[in-house]
A and B are shown apart, each in its own frame.
Chain A
Amino acid sequence: MQRLATQPGEVIDRSRPLPFTWNGKPHRGFAGDTIASALAADGVRIFARSMKYHRPRGLLTADYWDPNAFVQVGSDPNVRAGHRLLEAGMDVSAQNVWPSLEYDIKAANGLVGRFLTAGFYYKTFMKPARLWPVYERVLAQFAPGGTVDYDSAHEYFDKRYTHPDVLVAGGGPAGMASAIAAADAGASVMLVEHEHDLGGYLRWGDGAQRELADDLRASCDAHDGIEVLRNATVTGRYEDNWCAVVQRDHPHAVERLIKARAKTLVVAPGLIERPYVFAGNDKPGVLLSGAARRLMNLYAVKPGQRAVVLTANADGDRTVTDLERVGVDVARVVDARAGATVVAAHGGAKAVESVELSDGSSVDADLLVTAVGWTAPTSLLNLAGDRPVYDPQAARFFSDRVPDNIVVTGGLAGDGSAAELVEHGRATGELAARRAAVVAHTLQRLTSRAAPVADDTAQSMPPDDRSPLTRDAHPELFRSSTHGIVDYSEDVGSKDLVAAATEGYDSVELIKRFTTATMGPAQGKLETVNTVAVLAEARGETIAEVGTTVWRPPFAPVTLGALGGRIFEPVRVSSIQPWHEAHGARPILAGQWVRPEHYGDPEGEVRNVRGNVGIIDVTPLGKLDLRGPDVAKLLAHLYTNKWAKLPVGGVRYGVMCAEDGVVMDDGVTGRLGDEHYLMTTTSSGAAGVWEWAENWLQTEHPDWQVHITPVTTAFTSINVAGPNSRELVSRLTAIDLDSDAFGYMQVRRGEIAGAEGCFMWRIGFTGELSYELHVPSGYGLAVWEALLEQGADLGVAPFGLEAQRIMRLEKGHFIVGQDTDGLTRMPTVGLNPLIKLDKPDFAGKVELREAVEDDTLPRLVAIQPDDPDIVPVEASQIVRAGTNEILGRITSSRRSPTLGRSICLGQVAPEAAAPGTTLTVVLTTGQRISAKVMEHHAHFDPDGERQRV
């Protein structure tokens, strides 16, 4: 191939040469070239090696779908050379070749091809079994594709949302005309073109066609109602026209995903030219007619010197004209409409040298162009539920039935001159705009509380009143009398397909799975119809009888980066977090929250709480504000215990169970006013409990008057714990803290450190006298600092999650999700007195009624290893002595600085739960140790005297 003199429709800018390298060697192209056209113009004929036999491959379609033109560009694998525009300095190389594209050792596989039929690997490599891993590594060497540099940095990706009235997929003549007509009718239109410019097949057509394209393109670009996206693809159509558009030429991102909710979708992707199956059809020099014309007319590349053209349609005929115009010697035109065809392309491995025809003659040529028909890319219609139907007269599939909010035009709808396609497109655009208006009206009516519509009567969808496009007769040409390649990417030939069908893989899905035909990067756009045709031939059936596979999204591959976008996974922090960070807190991730694990010495923090006073930021505690006359009913339903008699100012602990009786959450709820409560949940359970409560309210008890507001981050929560806590808090508030005035498990509201709207309750997870302060979050840091300042002489110091965990374990308080699991029913945790079966109903009652009687349920018990210095890792198993029979496990374990020994909680089978039982605990090292079941859950202060003072 070589560069021609200036062509009338060329898109290259000869004033801007671009240097680049191909397999390390310098080359040059022009701005506007694709990588493939630049290489072709520089005389490159071999672009890749085939997957299995490593046969040399040249251009086939010279566009996005070209299966032979996947290249590595720098660290970017699988770049479509037929589509990606050339840039200065690009480092382009062939993929999957060794040692080089020209001399590839694996081409030796071609010599044994007859033994390596499709699926051969299922029939061998079985013995000896120990060698299979070796075979597997060898097979993996044949994986196609480029190399990914997984150490490269995460790049910037972005997403966009849009709500066009009409989304047009395809910017050919019909698509452009649709967009203009829809926009003229007042619709907002997004027009998406897969290629680098609007125009479709007109771009590589004759002067009149290019002129028509220029006019339509200018109208689209100038129209205020149309947003044109070039080099972008509608890759998916999901429910209610929720469409994915991938934009490949965004200035800042490799790709951008646009999510478009279109009121109507116009599907106008045109047609994809289909290869012809014959011996030698994958030799470099065999081109589809579209490829030949694009190379000549867009990129001024002469595709060969002496050509044979197989034509079954007008596109083939125009190719002959174009070839002759640029000086290619057209040695023979084989007219398939007259029954003639090509039998084989002969030549060395690397190029066509002669073409064998069905009349027995052989013609010397270095170029063979085929124009045998099209595949209808009905992917977007499939995604809307359409099952296309094969029309043997036109030799392609057509859509059967699509929803009202989709309109089809262009090649998918039929054939016609450019003018006829434009006319059909115009009618399509008008229809799409009218239907979009109906959809808009319907949506407006549905949401009329927000903005009432003038006309409140339902409108019906305008019927499809377009004059249909005709269907041109086209000969059915799939395979010649010889066998050739059907799937270029997967190196699957028609012979493989026939063999697979003979072996019984004779439905289109089975043959696909067995041979991997249509599974490659083009996902069947070039291969499916030929696969079906070969299978139909093998089965003696028609194409319609065999049917086709279902196209799955995306229509064109999308980078993971574009799909993932920026990762919106927020972390939550309390208003005091900056202080923690500035004071050496070690952060820990707890669900969505980042919080201090400790400030350097967790055991010291414990000792300070037990001896003086400590403060901990417990903001992540879930908080729900409950208001209304029926709150007590809701609480009684969610918790297993009773709530009707909780007085204003009182606080009560409760456990929530799911309907299967499994412990779901726990926490305290306080009554702030007659009809006003505040519920706290576990940090990780906050969202789930809110949903759970709303679910009951909205589905089972809509009559209950309760309003729930999640206020977790509206308050900053600080627990002040330790013997000096009363003195410390009293320095910050006027609230009477005297034990008689403000007892254990009570709540008070008031001002703290000058902050209004606070409340506090006396509870204690640590087992010490403690006050939990809930402060409007804007004052959180101020109150925290005031506590530290006022308490300096009392020995106040912050403590973190770890110290709290140690202290709660010393006290034997369980943590939902750690000491319980997905099967832990409430009796296991030893709180049966809180299960009030005499209540008329509550969540989990039915199961719990049985569970309280069930003496086989595991029990949560406090455990102390005999050796006080051994702390078994949480999850260490408890077994029957001398066996591997599991009796339970350690659920929590720590060294207690207060007691100076290891302490645990664990779930054990009832037989091993009696106080004093000696247990066998298996450490992660395999060592077995003895431990004792304790009488109380609390290892320390079992009577709770310290917190009630």
Chain B
Amino acid sequence: MVSGMATFRAALSSASLGSVRSSLGARVGSGGADKPPRYSAAGLFIKGARREEWPRVWREVDLARSYDAIIIGGGVHGLATAYYLATNHGITNVAVLDKAYLGSGGSGRNTAIVRSNYLTPEGVAFYDRSLTLYNSMSTDLNLNVMFSERGHMTLAHTDGALRTMNWRAEVNKLQNIDSSVIDPAEVKKLAPSLDVSGDTRYPILGALYHPPGGTIRHDAVVWGYARGADHRGVQMHQRTEVFDILCEGGDGPDGKGPGGRVTGVRTNRGDISAPIVVNCTAGWATTISDMAGVRLPITTHPLQAAVTEPVKVFLPTVVVSGSLHVYVSQTDRGELVFGASVDPYATYSMKGSLEFTEELAGHVLELMPGIGRMRLLRQWAGLCDMTPDYSPVMGFTPVDGFLCDVGWGTYGFKAGPVSGEQMAEAIATGRTPKLIEPFALSRFAAGDLVGEKGAAAVGH
């Protein structure tokens, strides 16, 4: 963080957050009205026997005219931020706004893979915390998010790629992450459908194997956080679109821009005031931050994914191939879920392309030649906000009270829990937590980029 930001932090904590906390202390525990029933097998049995219905997973309430904090974007990042604001810091007079339905963006479109075997120490520490939170999430949230710790395998097809896998494994080991390079025979044992014969166009020379990685039911994560936040008094407002962010005192038009402060947002349901506005959107991160006069170095690219018809489960782990731009896992329902790298062009369109499915299928068959008769059932796309260093923009901005948790590229879902936890801490304390310091917006001006792009660029 540069010194300008430090000054700003001081101003923020004295100006707005002090008041947030003092006004909110009294409200802690007052939200959520009746104590909601817990989910359990016994509950299912009793409700079933009595033919009773479960209460709403989150309440439908009227939009108030003011909140202590407004979170834009009802995906895993926004909801986790709200949840941890309420649980860890007792700040509950919070509204989460989404222009469609909760989980309608990247949270419901990703391929639900989680892992922590990153390349840089910062990346490892960050994602490992996320994985820890995912691990205990079902019990923490009292909603089964079906975290399937099935192992995660990144294939190497060239000696260069193998070198990168070794690099990641060695960094991971020093940080106590369970991660190692395995040979083709071990690959075959873990995923018998892979062709490790070696006489393929992209022979499998080995893999980085990460047993704690796996998949999770992404929608359940969204619902679990929403339900947990709701129980503590946070309000979820769907079909509530933000048209403008209201500011005062800034250098730009209408008081926006550096030096100013936020006062609220304008929505399709009217104006709402709040001293804190958090941008937790993906795909629209720049259009939202532009509303506050904060420019972000982000371009938006579509990322496509697809799913096959179900067949009996035969692929027990997550398989990733960087050279072939594909990752695949099989759900408990039997579908193969495929993802790829982002499309090479910037657009807000979420139409899928035929070329994507062709290339995807070709690459999957390169890995698993025997599944040519499985059928592709559905393809879709989501939007990814890409930053120059493949790392997010988190924390405070030059506009007082306006925070960002954006620029998550293709890996936002993995980071949802830890991002929410850290953003909540930033909001509540007015200080940038250490874990997200490397991701400050100011790093682009300071030339202090984060090194995860290294993982993508090496060995190609």
Residues of A near any B CB (own CB < 8 A) = 75-78, 96, 112, 114-115, 117, 120-127, 129, 132-133, 136, 139-140, 143-155, 157, 236, 238-239, 242, 244, 254, 257, 259, 383, 499, 502-505, 507, 509-510, 513-514, 516, 521, 523, 552-554, 557-565, 567, 569, 571, 588-591, 660, 662, 684, 817-818, 821-823, 847, 850, 873-877, 879, 884, 886, 889, 922, 924, 926
B108 CB contacts on chain A under 8 angstroms: 509, 513
Say if the beta carbon of B219 comes within 8 Å of chain A: yes
Q: Are A145 and B352 closer than 8 Å at their CB atoms?
A: no
Q: Are B58 and A884 in contact (CB under 8 A)?
A: no
Note all chain A residues with C-beta closer than 8 A to B457.
Answer: 662, 817, 821-823
- 9 further A-B contacts with Cβ under 8 Å, apart from A238-B352, A507-B238, are A121-B144, A122-B146, A126-B143, A148-B371, A149-B370, A504-B58, A560-B365, A560-B371, A817-B458
Contact call B138/A126, Cβ cutoff below 8 A: yes
Contact B60 A504 (CB under 8 A): yes
Taking A504-B60, A564-B365, A567-B365 as contacts, is the C-beta distance between A257 and B163 under 8 angstroms? Answer: no
- Are B311 and A499 in touch, CB under 8 angstroms? no
User: Does chain A have a CB within 8 A of B348?
Assistant: no
CB contacts (< 8 Å) of A561 on chain B: these are 361, 365, 372-373
Q: Does B121 contact A (CB under 8 A)?
A: yes
Contact status A571-B333, CB under 8 Å: no
Output the nearest chain A residue to B140 by Cβ-Cβ distance.
Answer: A126
A571-B201 in contact given A154-B365, A823-B451 (Cβ < 8 Å): yes
Tell whether, in the assembled complex, residue A589 and residue B203 are in contact, meaning their CB atoms are under 8 Å apart.
yes
Kindly identify which residue among B147, B170, B202, B354 contacts A875, using a CB–CB cutoff of 8 Å: B170
CB <8 Å contact, B143 and A144: no
Minimal beta-carbon separation of A287 from chain B (angstroms) = 24
B334 in complex: contacting residue of A143, A560, A877, CB < 8 Å = A143
Return A259 CB to nearest CB of chain B, in Å. 7
Q: Which residues of B contact A523 (CB under 8 A)?
A: 377-378
Question: Residue of A at shortest CB range from B217?
Answer: A122
Q: Which residues of B contact A847 (CB under 8 A)?
A: 447
Smallest Cβ-Cβ distance to A133: which chain B residue: B149
7 contacts between A and B (CB under 8 A): A112-B48, A121-B146, A509-B104, A514-B219, A552-B378, A559-B376, A589-B202
A267 to B388, CA, bound (A): 43
Assembled-state Cα–Cα distance A553/B380 (Å): 8
Determine if B54 and A148 form an interchain contact, defined as CB atoms under 8 angstroms apart: no
Quick check: A124 and B41 within 8 Å, CB to CB? yes
Q: Give bound CA distance, A269 to B225, whole Å.
A: 43
Nearest Cβ distance between residue A295 and chain B, in whole angstroms? 25
Name the 8 nearest CB pairs between A and B, nearest first.
Answer: A822-B457, A561-B372, A143-B334, A563-B361, A557-B375, A123-B39, A564-B361, A875-B166
B354 touches A154 (CB 8 A): no
Q: How far is the CB of A3 from chain B (nearest CB, A)?
A: 31
Is B65 an interface residue when CB atoms closer than 8 A count as contact?
A: no
Interface status of B449 (Cβ within 8 A of chain A): yes
**Cβ contact of B372, chosen from A129, A564, A590, cutoff 8 A:** A564
Once the chains are docked, how many angstroms separate the CA of A626 from the CA of B449? 35
> Which residue of the partner chain A has the closest CB to B59?
A504
In the bound complex, CA of A149 to CA of B460 (Å)? 33
Contact string, B344-373, partner A, CB cutoff 8 A, digits 1/0? 000000011110011011111110111111
Q: Are A502 and B53 in contact (CB under 8 A)?
A: yes
Q: Judge whether A557 and B377 touch: CB under 8 Å.
A: yes
Whether B370 and A552, one on each chain, are in contact in the complex, defined by CB atoms closer than 8 angstroms, is: no
Quick one: which of A117, A504, A818 contacts B56, CB cutoff 8 A?
A: A504
Contact status of A521 and B362, CB under 8 A, knowing A557-B377, A875-B167? no
Contact with A along B435-460 (1 / 0, CB 8 A): 00000000000010101011111111
Are B193 and A150 interface neighbours, CB within 8 A? yes
A144-B174 in contact (CB<8A): no
Cα distance A157–B371 in the bound complex, in angstroms? 13
Q: With a CB–CB cut-off of 8 A, which chain B residues contact A588?
A: 159
CA distance A591 to B374 in the complex (A): 30
Asked if residues A152 and B370 are in contact (CB atoms below 8 Å), the reply is: yes
Pairwise interchain contact B310-A144, C-beta atoms closer than 8 A: yes
- Is B333 a contact partner of A154 (Cβ separation < 8 A)? no
Q: Indicate if the CB atoms of A502 and B139 lie closer than 8 Å.
A: no
- A561 vs B372: C-alpha distance when bound (angstroms): 4
Q: Which among B103, B160, B171 has the highest number of chain A CB atoms within 10 Å? A: B160
Q: With A561-B365, A822-B454 in contact, is A874–B166 under 8 Å at CB?
A: yes
Give per-residue flags for B116-158: 1 if the beta carbon is below 8 A from chain A beta carbons, else 0. Answer: 0000010000000000000010110011111111000000011
Asked if residues B171 and A236 are in contact (CB atoms below 8 Å), the reply is no
Is the CB–CB distance between A553 and B379 below 8 Å? Answer: yes
| Chain A neighbourhood of B369, CB < 8 A | 153-154
Interchain CB contact under 8 A, A557 and B309: yes
Are B143 and A122 in touch, CB under 8 angstroms?
yes
Indicate whether A143 sits within 8 Å of B312 (C-beta atoms), given known contacts A504-B58, A817-B460.
yes
Q: In the complex the two chains form, what is the Cα distance from A145 to B173 in whole Å?
A: 40
Q: Is the CB of B375 within 8 A of A552?
A: no
* Closest-CB distance, B321 to chain A (whole angstroms): 13
Q: Which of B67-87 contact A (CB under 8 A)?
A: none
- Highest count of chain B CB atoms <10 Å: which of A146, A552, A847, A922: A552
Given A77-B311, A238-B353, A560:B375 Cβ within 8 A? yes
By the criterion CB–CB under 8 Å, are B51 and A114 in contact? yes
**What's the least CB distance linking B178 to chain A, in Å?**
14
Please report the C-alpha to C-alpha distance between residue A236 and residue B377 in the assembled complex, in whole angstroms. Answer: 12
- Give Cα A728 to B351, complex, Å: 61
Contact A146/B311 with A126-B142, A504-B60, A552-B379 known, Cβ cut-off 8 Å: yes
Report if B25 contacts A (CB, 8 A). no
Instruction: Check if A120 sits within 8 Å of B44, measured CB to CB.
Output: yes
A78 to B336, CA, bound (A): 14
- Given that A122-B144, A567-B362 are contacting pairs, would A884 and B378 also be in contact in the complex, using a CB cutoff of 8 Å? no
| Complex contact B53–A503 (CB within 8 A) | yes
- The answer to whether B309 touches A147 (Cβ under 8 A) is no
Q: How far is the CB of A809 from chain B (nearest CB, A)?
A: 14
Please state if B375 and A154 are interface contacts (CB–CB under 8 Å).
no
Query: Which chain B residues (192-223) contact chain A, with CB distance < 8 Å?
Result: 192-193, 201-203, 217, 219-220, 223
What's the Cα separation between A686 and B57 when bound, in Å?
56
- A503 and B362 form a contact (CB under 8 A): no
Complex: A163 Cα to B331 Cα, angstroms = 39
B23 on the interface (CB 8 Å rule)?
A: no
Q: How far is the CB of B341 from chain A (nearest CB, A)?
A: 15
| Distance (whole angstroms) from the CB of B324 to the closest CB of chain A | 9
Q: B175 near A884 (CB under 8 angstroms)?
A: yes
CB distance A122 to B370 under 8 Å?
no
* Bound Cα distance A662, B311 (Å): 46
B361 touching A560 by the CB < 8 A rule?
A: yes
The 8 Å CB contact of B360, one of A155, A563, A875, is A563
Contacts of B363 in A (CB 8 A): 564
- Given contact pairs A151-B370, A560-B372, A817 touches B459 in the complex (Cβ within 8 A): yes
What is the chain B residue whose CB lies nearest that of A112?
Answer: B48
Q: How far is the CA of A120 from the CA of B370 in the complex (A)?
A: 35
Is A499 a contact of B54 with CB atoms below 8 Å?
Answer: yes
Contacts of B166 on A, CB cut-off 8 Å? 873-876, 924
Closest chain A residue, CB of each to CB of B357:
A563
Closest to A129 in B: B139
B309 touches A78 (CB 8 A): yes
Determine which of A143, A503, A877 lies in contact with B171 in the assembled complex, contact meaning CB atoms within 8 Å. Answer: A877
